[in-house]
Amino acid sequence: MEKINIKKGAILCAGSKVLCKKGVLIVGGNTILAANAVLLQSTGDNEI
């Protein structure tokens, strides 16, 4: 089962992509994902 969990306060800018191949991918709270970025692994809280 693939699952994407976006925590409160996370900012995903225009064109960013979050891709999960297996398991659970977590975008931490207050994390900023830049424009056109591709996220393949989980992030912790407060990361840029």
Q: pLDDT tens across 3-46, in order?
A: 999 999 999 999 999 999 889 999 999 999 999 999 999 999 99
Contact 31, 11 (CB under 8 A): yes
Distance in angstroms (rounded) separating the CA atoms of residues 3 and 48: 21
Distance in angstroms (rounded) separating the CA atoms of residues 41 and 33: 12
Any idea which residue has 């996220």 for tokens? Answer: 39
Any idea which residue has 């994407």 for tokens? Answer: 4
Contact 41, 25 (CB under 8 A): yes
- Residue 36's pLDDT is 97
